[in-house]
Amino acid sequence: MKKRVFSGARPTGRQHIGNYLGAIQNYVSLQAEYECIYCIVDIHALTTLQGVEGVKNLQQNVREMILDWLAAGLDPKKSILFVQSEVPEVTELHTLLSMTTPLGWLMRVPTFKEKVKMQPDNVNYGLLGYPVLMTSDIILYKAEFVPVGEDQLPHLELAREIVRRFNSLYGDTFPEPKPKLTQAPMIVGLDGVQKMSKQLNNHIELAATAEETAQRIMTAYTDPTRQRKSDPGHPETCNIFHLHEAFEPMKTKDIPAHCRSAQIGCVDCKKLLAQEVNAALAPLRERRHELASRPAYVSDVLSDGARRAQAIARETIREVKDRMNLIRKDT
């Protein structure tokens, strides 16, 4: 039998090439070998969004994200694709696990401490419970592998601890989920310094037009030590070169030599990159366009995903409640 993979991502709207190279491509390729469950974690999003203003784009963000996922090759015939809040069993498991998770473990989580600094006016209870909810996501489906970026390793370590504790208190119930680190290196944004992110506006959307893509690439920073076209470049520290490598490692293998010897200038190098990115994304963009014209189909994909996920979730909840002696027995 195929082993099960689970991963979740917050609904951040249109995905960018950093999300694509860093996570989505990996999700797609895992479908061949594993039974995959991919979830848009809208409840987790509420740990940082608040009020009518805060939540107003949630539905749209979910919609944009699922369009990108489907266009990129996540296949509802192979995988379960669903929205977290549509399988409310996860909140039940979260509450039950919260009874076996020591407070100290949660207060030590690095992302919690960061969030407390970042949003001192909204240190809500859910923020502390974030890793418990994430653990619930994974183990509700008894997933064995979790594709994540390195930033999520502390959360996953905690998930394993929560599982070990539950299993030792109530008997072997859950497998310990193992991380499946993405091979792709971190994609730096167009500012050349920070990780590509929508928030920093240093990104290229998958759904961007070819023109927008080219325009954004032309504004990107390159090797800062290269002032004139005649200066030799340093591809190893150049953001644009790393994108060449990520997109077309074979076709662009001459670029480092040509850059070092100043045979190619940054403008031409960026034009080449824009062509590569646009050519690589053209089929995805076409599929996305087609999917966007069939909202009922996309909606059905998510409903069907939730239904299939819920069937698994119900069984796990039943088992957990039984372990915790929450099931009434006729005496």
Residue 18 within binding range of ligand TRP, rule CB under 6 A: no
Half-sphere exposure of 216 (CA within 13 A, CB side): 21
Cα distances (Å, whole numbers) of residue 29 to 7, 26, 135, 216, 242: 13, 5, 23, 28, 22
Catalytic-labelled residue, pool 78, 180, 195, 271: 195
Residue 41 within binding range of ligand TRP, rule CB under 6 A: yes
CB of 26 to ligand TRP, least distance (A): 12
CB of 177 to ligand TRP, least distance (A): 8
By Cβ distance, which residue is nearest to ligand TRP?
A: 8
Residue 106 within binding range of ligand TRP, rule CB under 6 A: no
Instruction: Quote the crossing angle between the two packed helices 110-118 and 125-139, to the nearest 10°.
Output: 140
Q: Is 113 annotated in the active site? A: no
Tokens of 198: 């929508």
Residue 148 within binding range of ligand TRP, rule CB under 6 A: yes
- Neighbouring C-beta atoms of residue 261, cutoff 10 Å: 10
Residue 320 within binding range of ligand TRP, rule CB under 6 A: no
Determine the straight-line distance between the first and last CA of the chain, rounded to whole angstroms: 39
- C-beta closer to ligand TRP: residue 148 or 207: 148
- C-beta closer to ligand TRP: residue 91 or 278: 91
CB 195 within 8 A of CB 188: yes
Among 17, 81, 138, 320, which residue interacts with ligand TRP (rule: CB under 6 A)? 138
Q: Which sign, positive or negative, has the C-alpha torsion 281, 284, 289, 290?
A: positive
CB of 174 to ligand TRP, least distance (A): 14
- C-beta closer to ligand TRP: residue 10 or 14: 10
Among 40, 96, 134, 281, which residue interacts with ligand TRP (rule: CB under 6 A)? 134
- C-beta closer to ligand TRP: residue 15 or 152: 152
Nearest-5° angle of CA 124, CA 130, CA 133?
125
Between CA 64 and CA 15 the distance in angstroms is 8
Half-sphere exposure of 290 (CA within 13 A, CB side): 9
Number of residues forming the site for ligand TRP (CB under 6 A): 14
Chain residues in the site for ligand TRP (CB under 6 A)? 6-10, 41, 44, 134, 137-138, 146, 148, 152, 155
Give the active site residues.
115, 195, 198
